[in-house]
Structure 1
Amino acid sequence: MELNLDSEVLKAYGYAKENIKITQIGTGLINRTYLLSPLSEKKKYILQNINTSVFKSPQAIANNLRSIADYLTFTYPEYLFIKPVSTTNSEEMAHIHHEYWRMLPFVPNTVSLDVLADPKQAYEAAKQFGKLSRLLNDFDAKTLQPTIPGFHDLGLRYEQFALALSQAEETLKDEAKAQIEDALAHKYILDYYTSYSHRTDFPDRVMHHDTKISNVLLDTETYGGICVIDLDTIMPGKFISDLGDMMRTYLCAFSENETDLDKIKIRLPYFEAMIKGYLSEMKSILTETEKELILFSGKYIIYMQALRFLTDFLSGNKYYPISYPTQNLDRTRNQFKLLHEIAANEKELQDIIEENLV
């Protein structure tokens, strides 16, 4: 879809409507994304409008990316880190009419997938996310600002669920009775995490926090991993955020919107490929506590996402977009089924992990 943008946005980067082609691209739910093709250049660019209802401090994103880019340029200059293009005023973002815009270089001969179609793709994606964390192992994560405070804080998400449950209409609680029971029964996951959270060998690291397959660029021909993209959520966190989110989104062939729960199954070849890819980069730096919690990371993130969908349903569907009234409840059922599938396959999954830790 070709369209026009505010000329002031283009002007901030030295372009005019007359000398650039603009196409809206991407399937992300947060930021609006455009491909810019200057008529007088061979290079192309990605332009994104930052969603300030989600990212309330866009400057925190800019500061984080600048710090990481400076570090990687100095320590690993060969690594492809997608650094924002400066405006004509040498700023990381353009602030136009109360909106924030960011321009990034377009990486040619790459593809961003919406759906995994082969275990090799899971391997390459997991390897890229692991590589970024490994390269930033000596970077001080405490210098980064949270771009979404509490994003993967399971304690916070449980508190939000408990509050929504206490305030929900009786009809909604009746409809979600089985899922509420599931949520309460799995609180042990939060308790288990809390028992580990203060260990000295469970460090905060630089985490991406949104490791779905579409946030990795792969080579268009070989599907080899090229680099990680969509870095708005890069901030301090535990390793379980990235690995757990990969488990949540890579292991089943169907997304959280699938309502036929018989289809929600663990794909063991994808799990094995993902673990091999991630540990090929991270095995050397993971602590003993982190190694203990590899499979738990999937339980943590899946449970957290189930709570978030259930909380939204009980609160009247205020956060996640829905196409029918009970969609968030269906998403909750989906995520709890995935959590149960991990439990049902736990021995085999743990065996795969142990084999790749040797």
Structure 2
Amino acid sequence: MPEDARRRTRDPGAPEGRPLPGAELGPIFGIHGELTHIQPLGRGHIHQTFLAHYRADDGRVERYVHQQLNDSVFVDLDSLMDNFVRISAHLGARAGDDRRAVRLQLTADGRPFARVSGAPWRTLAFIDGSRTSRRFDGPAQAAEGAALAAGLVADLADLTPPPVEVIPAFHDVVERLNALDRARAADVVDRAAECGVEVDVVLSHGAVAVEVAEAREAGVLPQRTVHNDAKVENLLFDATSGQGLCMVDLDTVGPGTVLFDVGDLVRSGAVTGPEDADADALSVDPGIVTAILDGYARAGAGFLTPAEVRYLPVAGPLMALESAARFLTDHLQGDVYFRVDGPGHNLRRARNQIRILELLRPG
């Protein structure tokens, strides 16, 4: 590999001087051609994702997505990838068009992932002519994104057996609040004093978490197979027309309520400013919130119950509350879960989610 290409393969999450094993990945995943370029892709908190360019003997350039999987978060990789294989195959069969579904590139010997230098990797076909966004650029795109999320639920309704829950209690918001309270009490890295106000604010909003938990327990909010991480960056749109293509990052797909997906769309897509910007600079666009709620209700009309539609406005505050609790808990535990730029990063993220929560649920 040319030296300039090798310099571009440094893994930003690895110690200085450790190269990303890009040259080894191609043959392992049955990709023929020379690796000419590899670069980080997206801003995911969990996996490390890279876009790789391979030049075939005939000069064609093919692009693939290589992901180094985080087996500290997803400790049962076999269950994770069994889910992924079944879900992506099911959605791919429904889509027909290759650009409307995530396509897994198996290894040369037919496995869904491989260990390279001790780290687990998988590979996906890159969807040409697609783009992602950090937030919705207007009500039309918001409605399009909401329709993608509702469409995924509809398409997976007949997947038998349904996907397993790979991270138990991932969206148990009541337990997330309890975990935050425990993390403050333990104060293992001596940070509780600096975020006491934020913890108190988050815990004071616990009633919405209890309300939704009780509605789920009573069957008022039915359990469905949902995405469970439906932030805007996990939606793909056609780069030219803006039409919705598909949802990506399918690792969290599993049991849940539609509120989880709608809430993530709202908290990530209707807010001005990045996740870790100054909280005071954030605002919520009510037109985009309405477009998400109405767009999901319209696209999901074939399966949504009246109760689910009635609860949709609660979704945004619920997921902003959960995100604030998770970021604060990680801050209090020493930044062990989310990747951070440095001390205080998770606290800034939490403050922003608190701001979003308060904007969505004033008073």
Tell me which interval the TM-score lies in, with the shorter structure as reference length. 0.7 to 0.9
Is 2:101–2:245's contact at 8 Å kept on the other side of the alignment?
no
Map 1:190-201 onto structure 2 (within 5 A).
190-201=209-220
TM-score between the two structures when normalised by the length of structure 1: 0.85
Question: Which of 113, 121, 136 is residue 93 of structure 1 equivalent to?
Answer: 113
Matched with 2:149 is: 129
Question: Which of 35, 39, 63 is residue 44 of structure 1 equivalent to?
Answer: 63
Q: In the TM superposition, what whole-angstrom CA distance separates every residue of 1:128-164 from its partner, at most 9, and x where no partner exists? A: 1111111122334x63122222221112212211211
Question: Which of 175, 196, 205 is residue 194 of structure 2 equivalent to?
Answer: 175
Matched with 1:293 is: 311
Query: 1:48–1:330: structure 2 CA closer, same or farther, 3 Å change rule?
Result: closer
Residue 305 of structure 2 corresponds to residue 277 of structure 1: no
Question: Which of 143, 164, 171 is residue 183 of structure 2 equivalent to?
Answer: 164
Matched with 2:76 is: 57
Alpha-carbon shift at residue 219 of structure 1 (Å): 1.1
Residue 30 of structure 2 corresponds to residue 30 of structure 1: no
Amino acid of the structure 1 residue aligned with 2:141: Q
Question: Which of 103, 107, 119 is residue 139 of structure 2 equivalent to?
Answer: 119
Query: 1:81–1:187: structure 2 CA closer, same or farther, 3 Å change rule?
Result: same
Give the Cα separation in 1 of the matches to 2:27 and 2:279.
Answer: 49
Matched with 2:324 is: 306
Matched with 1:143 is: 162
DSSP 3-state at the match of 2:73: coil
Give the Cα separation in 1 of the matches to 2:350 and 2:120.
Answer: 33
**What is the CA RMSD across the aligned residues, in angstroms?**
2.6
Query: 1:68–1:6: structure 2 CA closer, same or farther, 3 Å change rule?
Result: closer
Give the Cα separation in 1 of the matches to 2:106 and 2:187.
Answer: 47
Is 1:241–1:297's contact at 8 Å kept on the other side of the alignment?
yes
Is 1:208–1:233's contact at 8 Å kept on the other side of the alignment?
yes
DSSP 3-state at the match of 1:293: helix
Alpha-carbon shift at residue 245 of structure 1 (Å): 0.8
DSSP 3-state at the match of 2:361: helix
Question: Which of 123, 134, 147 is residue 103 of structure 1 equivalent to?
Answer: 123
Amino acid of the structure 1 residue aligned with 2:159: F
Is 1:201–1:288's contact at 8 Å kept on the other side of the alignment?
no
Alpha-carbon shift at residue 175 of structure 1 (Å): 3.0
Q: Which runs of 5+ in 1 are unaligned?
A: 346-358
DSSP 3-state at the match of 1:21: strand
Matched with 2:26 is: 10
Is 1:60–1:146's contact at 8 Å kept on the other side of the alignment?
no
- Percent identity among equivalent residues? 25
Map 1:308-323 onto structure 2 (within 5 A).
308-323=326-341
Give the Cα separation in 1 of the matches to 2:262 and 2:39.
Answer: 30
Moved more, 312-321 or 127-136: 312-321
Map 1:64-79 onto structure 2 (within 5 A).
64-72=83-91, 77=96
Q: In the TM superposition, what whole-angstrom CA distance separates every residue of 1:194-239 from its partner, at most 9, and x where no partner exists? A: 3212223422222212212221111111211111112121122211
Is 1:36–1:44's contact at 8 Å kept on the other side of the alignment?
yes
Amino acid of the structure 2 residue aligned with 1:340: E
Matched with 1:20 is: 35
Residue 267 of structure 2 corresponds to residue 252 of structure 1: no
Alpha-carbon shift at residue 77 of structure 1 (Å): 4.2
Q: Which runs of 5+ in 2 are unaligned?
A: 10-19
Query: 1:279–1:292: structure 2 CA closer, same or farther, 3 Å change rule?
Result: closer
Amino acid of the structure 2 residue aligned with 1:71: H
Alpha-carbon shift at residue 286 of structure 1 (Å): 1.0
Query: 1:11–1:271: structure 2 CA closer, same or farther, 3 Å change rule?
Result: same
Residue 245 of structure 2 corresponds to residue 226 of structure 1: yes
Is 1:66–1:83's contact at 8 Å kept on the other side of the alignment?
no
Amino acid of the structure 2 residue aligned with 1:20: L
Map 1:328-343 onto structure 2 (within 5 A).
328-343=346-361
Alpha-carbon shift at residue 169 of structure 1 (Å): 7.5
Matched with 2:262 is: 243
Count of aligned pairs between the two proteins: 342
Amino acid of the structure 1 residue aligned with 2:181: A
Query: 1:282–1:344: structure 2 CA closer, same or farther, 3 Å change rule?
Result: same
Alpha-carbon shift at residue 344 of structure 1 (Å): 3.0
Q: In the TM superposition, what whole-angstrom CA distance separates every residue of 1:275-307 from its partner, at most 9, and x where no partner exists? A: 233223212211232122111111211111111
